[in-house]
Amino acid sequence: MKLIVRKNSELLEYLYENLDMPKKRIKQYLVHGSVYVEDDRVTQYNYPLVAGMRIMIDTNSRNLKKLPFEVLFEDDHLLVVNKPSGLLTIATEKEKERTLYHIVRDYVVSRNPHGRIFIVHRLDKDTSGIVLFAKDERIKNQLQENWNEYVRLREYCAVVHGHPKEDSGQIVQYLKETKTKLVYVARGEDGKKAITNYSVVQSNEDYSMLKVTIETGRRNQIRVAFASKKIPIVGDKKYGSKDKANRLFLHANRLKIYYPVIKKDILFETSIPNEFKKIMK
């Protein structure tokens, strides 16, 4: 099924207005990765559409036994996926069903009715990249209880406005949160210590692409680090970016952990999203 966008809108609302189809079914196509905009698979309900864009809905591919995003690793104990931007990791009061956990659980149960899934760690809703799930509670507990010891590398790719003063460096801050979960840099050492390392990979007149590694895992740590240096991440409306980007340009692209099942380190990697490459041309 193909459509040409006739007016600027948001994806879910536009499809509902222009298709003879219940909104619930349209949501299922989106959640399970059957909707493409300009040949890119899109799962965001509020994805911004511009007149002239091409939409394709693959009505034959919706199958709960497939995930609408990349599976990086799967065995009897672990499932590692590449989470898209705009998707919550776990449920909130406002959103119960359209979450990474919900989609992965459906996938696991469709293959094994008695299967279970446990989230090991999280990414922000707007951050894309590597997320680990455990298939049994013992492995989940073992990984979580020893997370700081087992994690060897947490690497991100970020595109920021402007250019850092130095091509590489370390940002050490102490962070606190407001009641509304807005993170800010505390005065002195009053807060949780956050260590963020970066190096410039590529730059153009307007933007810099950075390789970022973190030594701590604080909420919104990377976003706050660069916003506080007056080079906010592209698309980060929460922390001061005023651009019109349709996503946050932050992606967790490499994660190396000690895997106790095989008693060895294992590295998970993803490619850099196409949007990041396009903006740096």
**Same domain assignment for residues 107 and 165:** no
Does residue 259 lie in a domain region? no
Return d(Cα 266, Cα 42) in angstroms, integer: 29
pLDDT in tens, 51-102: 999 999 987 655 445 788 899 999 889 999 999 999 999 876 665 567 999 8
The answer as to whether 246 is a domain residue is: yes
Residue 38 within any structural domain of the chain: yes
Please tell me the total count of domains within the chain. 3
- At 194-235, the pLDDT tens digits run 999 999 999 999 999 999 999 999 999 999 999 999 999 999
Q: In terms of residue numbers, what domain contains 81? A: 63-145
* Predicted TM-score (pTM) of this structure: 0.76
Q: Is residue 40 domain-shared with residue 123, that is, in the same domain?
A: no
- Residue 273 included in any domain: no
DSSP 180: T
The per-type count for the chain, helices as H runs and strands as E runs, is 7, 17
165 with 75, same domain?
A: no
CATH number of the domain encompassing residue 28: 3.10.290.10
Catalytic residue among 40, 124, 136, 236, which?
124
Contacts with 148 (C-beta within 8 Å, 6 or more apart), sequence order: none
Domain shared by 139 and 164, yes or no? no
**Would 29 be classed as within a structural domain?**
yes
Residues 18 and 88 in one domain: no
Claim to verify: residue 158 and residue 114 sit in the same structural domain: no
- The dihedral through the CA atoms of 98, 102, 104, 106 has a sign that is negative
48 and 131 part of one domain: no
**Spatial distance between the Cα atoms of 188 and 263, rounded to a whole number of angstroms:** 41
Report residue 177 as tokens: 């949160």
CA-to-CA distance for 96 and 89, rounded, in angstroms? 11
Residues 42 and 78 in one domain: no
Quick one: 173 and 218 in the same domain? yes
Which tens digit of pLDDT belongs to each residue from 114-160? 889 999 999 999 999 999 999 999 999 999 999 999 999 999 999 99
* Position 271 in a domain: no
Phi-psi domain of 220 (left: phi exceeds 0; alpha: psi -120 through 50; beta: other):
left
- Domain end residue (candidates: 95, 127, 145): 145
**3-class DSSP state of 130:** strand
Going by DSSP bridges, is the β-strand pair 207-214/192-203 parallel, antiparallel, or unpaired?
antiparallel
Of 99, 116, 145, the one marking the end of a domain is 145
39 catalytic? Reply is: no
